[in-house]
A and B are shown apart, each in its own frame.
Chain A
Amino acid sequence: MAQKKETAVVYSQEELAPGIFSMWIITEMAASAKPGQFIAVYSRDGSRILPRPISICEADPEEGRLRIVYRIAGAGTQEFSGYVSGDPIDIMGPLGNGFPREGENVFLIGGGIGIPPMLELAKQLNCEKQIILGYRDENLFLRDEFEAYGEVFVATEDGSVGSHGNVLDAIRENGLSADVMYACGPTPMLRALKEYAAKEGIPCYISLEEKMACGIGACLACVCKTRDVDSHSNVHNRRICKDGPVFPAQEVDL
């Protein structure tokens, strides 16, 4: 199904940790959404004209609901965090390519607000999964929900829980290995994982983010630098919203 914009309805919303919200949305998009895809969420305040791209955390096609988990990063997400059950919410989606699904024994790695999209992927990947989650502190949002899908390892920046440091510290401390890596999180983390994957000689799929306007590949705002000339742009740029957000790590410059 192609993407579309619709006025959907908020099913429920809760705060998982300070500033981190989980919202279930009643929408037909639940039927076609894939892990790693995202939706564009529009503000109802006309002074904020651009939609906010937010990754899909879970899809429940039977109930017709999508879940997003997001951090308040400004006035737009502040507004969304105030929505309650029954409120209308303007969304467009599902957008982007989503994660491939390959590998026998994989790493699912999420850092900070890059953690949510890994949940639906964890649910859908039918293989050995080692889930490595990086947090700032002891606010381990979604951690328990990952337990059902694989062994979970935690790293915290302040050392309050699990390995002190980042997700790579957790991988090393626990002596983990994999044949495919999937990751979403801050750019320095993705850069380190790209290097790690190259050294290990394994495929690594990373989900990127960038400021977006159209969300569908028309405006060329959210490009990333690519190793090769891209067939659409005919230069070393790919569109994160349309060609991504998931890319093989070795094909993009971070």
Chain B
Amino acid sequence: MGRKITIEPVTRVEGHGKVTIHLDDQGNVTQSRLHIVEFRGFERFVQGRPYWEMPVLVQRLCGICPVSHHLAAAKALDVIVGAGMGDGLTPTAEKMRRLMHYGQIFQSHSLHFFHLAAPDMVFGIDGDPAIRNVIGLVLTNKELAVQGVMMRKFGQEIISATAGKKIHGTGAIPGGINKHLSETERDEFLKGADPMNIDKMIDWSQAAVDWFKDYHKNNKDFIDTYADFPSNHLSLVRKDGAMDLYHGVLRAVDSEGKKILHDVDYQNYLDYIDEEVRSWSYMKFPYLKEYGKQNGWYTVGPLARLNTADFIPSPLAQKEFEIYKAYTGGKPNNMSMHMHWARLIEILHSAEMMKELLNDPDIVSGELVTKGQKVNEGIGLLEAPRGTLFHHYEINGKDQISMANLIVSTTNNNQPMNNAVNQVAKTWMSGQTEITEPMMNAVEVSIRAYDPCLSCATHAFGQMPLEVSLYNANNELIDYKRK
């Protein structure tokens, strides 16, 4: 008699997701799926609203990564107001937005690594769940925990200063930005009392990369083999192939490193990317049209970005990038847990970029807005912490939104997350008759590596307990656990 195991909802993942794992009569895993079970029609909700509201309006979508949506919407509207295709902003506007964006990457990645990933590494997947969290981390490595808290805080302060406020920031507007950084704010970030200054943030970022490399040396089996599967990888890169988290062209490589999307203009993304709907999930499955639904799916996020970029344009991160690339002989890295390594290198890059921008005089003076000839359609992409984020809008003659299409990072990672769950489930669940907490956490760890934001993908919110339901082949509930 076969069984179906349901893990619902997934803890430490925003929104409502559940995992079902099907076992055959011998207890072997035959199918695993990550289901997204809640959907609210944000794209329809915005129809009829004035287009200039979008950068603020989209922040209703998610309280977790509102800055990414704020900036992606603003980039799409830059096109609509005739401020160029990502290259038409004033130097001040572009640099202020970049500073905001690197602050977002820095704080989001810091939260993920120190709060979510590090406890699983320090205590093990099967560690005591009572201490397998950031408080447990405080007890065993207080220095690391304090660094995580303060790095997150620094990034949040950068966002607040550039966006104008913490909630519903208004910094980015169609065609530019609405404020400079004051000299006082700039000096505080550059030379603030220890540890709240950018040099300390760079030091701590480097230390975090070093911590991971040390951990990796002693835990290669876990880090290198956990949810390791071939994938295509997609991200924006700068026109010269450099990593660029704010703007660029779309590039994809296959699992061997062959370019399969050749630095195309993202204004034409619909020529290259489509989304598949599957009956068992509200989250769509994007894929590269040329390679079809079966072979065209791809990974986005830190792992993908380090696979697509030729180099990182900041010295310390570039040095780490070279070490990282050498580990796989220059080939794309397909190991899901290396997502954390890539994430830490991006933290270091973001810190370096923030310092460069803070030292740039354009941040505190200069023209803020570009004006041009209005058109009725615009597309804005950027590399959000979790991966490539698409905002696409059309407006009507009354300057109202008539069409909106959003592809969020977590949606882009739908297929790889399902693959990761499937591989881990086969390792941990096959032949088992009872579902233990470590087994459930093992599946969650594979999902968490992608840092999914199901709040964005489903527009759900709230805190979720963990529920486990066990079904037999007749779909009868035979066991249920909740924590």
Asked if A and B bind, the verdict is no
Residues of A that sit less than 8 Å from B by CB: none
